[in-house]
Amino acid sequence: MRNHDYDLFVIGAGSGGVRAARMAAGFGARVAIAEDRYMGGTCVNVGCVPKKLYVYASEFGKAFKDARNFGWSSERPGFDWATLRDNKKTEISRLNAIYDSLLAAVQAEVINGRARIIDPHTVAVGEQRYTAEKILVATGGWPHIPEFPGSEHAISSNEVFDLERFPERLAIVGGGYIAVEFAGIFNGLGARVSQLYRGPLFLRGFDADIRAHAAREIRKTGVDLRFEVNVQSIAPGPGGLRVQLTDGSNLEVDVVLYATGRKANLLGLGLENVNVRISDAGAVAVDDQYRTSEPSIFALGDVTGRVELTPVALAEGMSFARRQFGGLENAVDYDFIPTAVFCQPNIGTVGFTEDEARARFGPIRLFKSTFKPMKHTISGRDEKTFMKLIVDQASDRVVGAHMMGPDAGEIMQGIAIAMRAGATKAIFDTTIGIHPTAAEEFVSMREPWSDD
């Protein structure tokens, strides 16, 4: 291995790349990591972290109103976009510096610039070339805006956090979790939001009951949801942007945000110089050890198009480093990965949807509950929580848990631990709940809603 400049050269300093670099260096490997944009990748800079901060900001508006029936005589104050935006920038800069410090602490060399692969063991950054025994591609994903008349007037989630002016009227195109989350954020901050989706119901891939409940609850908040419609064209006009829709209607808005998907970030990587196979979906194809069809080149995280979640990239980075440099067998288990959608109210989910569970296990039992959160019995807010458990009839194991309601993500993390441990419905039923909480409903649903 000492015939090369480094034992490992990582391209991309996002969650997965940094975790792999740190752990490999901890095992004694000589590591370099190249980043051409910002330390921490999408999650820290234009993803999970700023999104959650903006979600917090957007919830205050409803909280001021909720407080009145609890005795607080206050009106909703004005909102200043620049304060939120600039405080967010300060926090992200702090996190960027932490990533630099973490890499410096393990003596991993950070190289600023876009790396491109020259051959199976050589990487170039600018005019400088480096050799490595192993190369790891961890460049993540990138927002994709399709081409259509006026598409150049649309922005992506990369730009929306740092708009110079707050968009009073916003059109969001897309039906995935990113579109749904931003609809809730800007609606909560006071914008008039229209969300457009070409399909009959958004959040494809989530449980059907959650999707239907989400549409009902999000409409209540004031978001203008429009399904089975798409954008035909965007044109600037005296009143902002004119958005022509496929149903013949049009919108006048200040900003059009496209959240219609992300693609593997492969531009300029030099993969044409090596034998790295690209999947039909445009992602880097890898085996269960994250090795590409070029034996010395590996890839992990969103660039592989598997489970595109930050904690999964972190787990893959650890697995890669332990196997390649620590001599340890450490495979990532992709079953029962919990996830959350930070819409309003939140969605939390783990395990199989109803359709997936029936296909996988055969006969199942379903448990459902819909109720008004205790807080809103006084606040007066028209909001309902929905919970659902899916149980394999043969084993009594809980194989799916889905929730939309306050703190759903926090609650689902604990449920995920139980489900990974193989908890049965009988164990859920004999677990004593914490009262009064919403979470106790998961151990109080005794009667099946339906039984195959």
| Three-state secondary-structure class, residue 196 | strand
Residue corresponding to tokens 């958005």: 243
What does DSSP assign to residue 259? Answer: -
Q: Contact 111/34 with Cβ under 8 angstroms?
A: yes
CA distances from 110 to 8, 114, 235 (A): 12, 12, 43
Q: How far apart are CA 139 and CA 158, in angstroms?
A: 15
Closest CA to 225 of 255, 250, 196, 187: 196
* DSSP 8-state class, residue 199: S
Amino acid residing at 239: G
Tokens representing 315 are 């787990």
Tokens of 113: 């610039």
d(C-alpha 414, C-alpha 104), whole Å: 34
Helix, strand, coil shares of the chain, percent, nearest 5, are 35, 25, 40
Element (H, E) at 212: helix 208-220
Helix axes 310-325, 15-26, angle to 10 degrees: 30
Residue 14 tokens, joined: 């996002």
List the catalytic residues.
Answer: 435
- Burial class of residue 448 (count of CB atoms within 10 Å of its CB; 0-12, 13-18, 19+): middle
350 has which bridge partners?
Answer: 401
Give the Å distances, CA to CA, from 297 to 10, 108, 221, 301, 304. 10, 19, 48, 14, 13
Any idea what DSSP says for residue 407?
T
Spatial CA neighbour of 401 closest among 346, 352, 343, 337: 352
Rg (CA), the chain: 24
Backbone dihedral region for residue 41 (phi beyond 0: left; psi -120 to 50: alpha; all else: beta): left
Tell the residue number behind the tokens 């049009």, with chain if given.
250
CA distance 95 to 14: 12
Q: Where are the beta strands (DSSP E) in 180-239?
A: 192-197, 224-227, 231-237
